[in-house]
């Protein structure tokens, strides 16, 4: 924040993430609903994914940049000599404060969508929202860790991993009922983005399965732990960059 114009960067990110919801609202106002799907429903699902992604991007972006900024340069060798856990060091290696704008934008979109859907803000619903967001943060952090773990085996073939972070957030704008079956299964069972966004949204706002709304946290935690295991396997395989 000591850099001149830091607030312009945050404002820029906020505006960029508000453009997508604005386009959705404009299209629905022009062409109408898609079956039972209204713009508010789509934006609520989108807000869960965006908020979780924004928090993970702010706090754990070090893992996303790890293959390129530490393995290629050999900086990871220095981390191995320090008496602090590798998880802490890699997480703290990059801190994108301006990415918190994603988190803020997601919360604002969520609040507006819940209000427009006349969702009851009860203790149970608040608990489910918090559980879903925590599960989403663990999920997206797990995606970053998984990409870092794959980096121990290959660095030049990591672009496909980005499908599961930023691109998955954009995918949340598609009505689930009209999503291709392959994508729906991929983002439910392989990278469970729909579990942390669609399931809780449906449970609290339009009569979806109540118990599915609580799956976000355990599923996100399971994905995080599996990614952590893969990361540890990569660390054990690491043979140093050399001179």
Residue-level pLDDT at 241: 63
Among 59-68, 177-186, 195-204, 218-227, name the one with the lowest average pLDDT. Answer: 59-68
Q: Which residue has the higher pLDDT, 80 or 133?
A: 133
Average pLDDT over residues 48-62: 90
- Expressed in angstroms, the distance from the first to the final Cα of the chain is 37
CB 95 within 8 A of CB 61: yes
Q: Which residue has the higher pLDDT, 30 or 43?
A: 43
Q: How far apart are CA 210 and CA 212, in angstroms?
A: 5
Among 135-139, 151-155, 169-173, 192-196, name the one with the lowest average pLDDT. Answer: 151-155
Q: How far apart are CA 99 and CA 63, in angstroms?
A: 15
Residue-level pLDDT at 53: 92
Residue-level pLDDT at 27: 84
Residue-level pLDDT at 147: 87
Average pLDDT over the chain reads: 87
Q: How far apart are CA 154 and CA 168, in angstroms?
A: 22
* Per-residue tokens: 195: 């579990």
CB 106 within 8 A of CB 51: yes
Predicted confidence band of residue 21 (pLDDT cuts 50, 70, 90): confident
pLDDT at 74 > cutoff 60? yes
Report the Cα 207 to chain-centroid distance in Å. 25
Q: Residue 104: exposed, middle, or buried by beta-carbon count in 10 A (0-12, 13-18, 19+)?
A: middle
pLDDT at 190 > cutoff 60? yes
- Domain residue ranges of the chain, discontinuous segments joined by +: 6-237
Average pLDDT over residues 84-89: 89
């Amino acid at each position: 924040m000591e850099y001149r114009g830091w607030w312009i960067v945050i404002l820029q990110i906020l505006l960029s993430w508000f453009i997508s919801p604005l386009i959705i609202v404009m299209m629905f106002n022009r062409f109408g609903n898609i079956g039972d799907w209204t713009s508010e429903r789509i934006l609520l699902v989108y807000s869960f994914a965006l908020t979780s992604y924004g928090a993970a991007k702010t706090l754990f972006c070090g893992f996303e940049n790890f293959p390129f900024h530490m393995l290629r340069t050999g900086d990871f060798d220095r981390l191995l000599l320090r008496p602090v856990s590798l998880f802490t060091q890699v997480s703290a290696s990059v801190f994108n404060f301006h990415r918190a704008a994603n988190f803020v934008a997601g919360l604002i979109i969520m609040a507006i969508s819940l209000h427009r859907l006349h969702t009851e803000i009860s203790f149970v619903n608040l608990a489910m929202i918090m559980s879903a967001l925590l599960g989403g943060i663990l999920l997206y952090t797990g995606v970053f860790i998984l990409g870092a773990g794959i980096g121990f085996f290959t660095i030049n073939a990591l672009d496909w991993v980005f499908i599961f972070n930023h691109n998955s957030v954009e995918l949340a704008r598609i009505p689930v009922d009209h999503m291709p079956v392959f994508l729906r299964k991929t983002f439910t069972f392989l990278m469970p983005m729909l579990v942390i966004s669609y399931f809780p949204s449906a449970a609290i706002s339009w009569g979806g399965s109540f118990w599915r709304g609580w799956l976000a946290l355990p599923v996100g935690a399971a994905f995080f732990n599996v990614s952590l295991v893969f990361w540890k396997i990569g660390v054990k395989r690491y043979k140093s960059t050399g001179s």
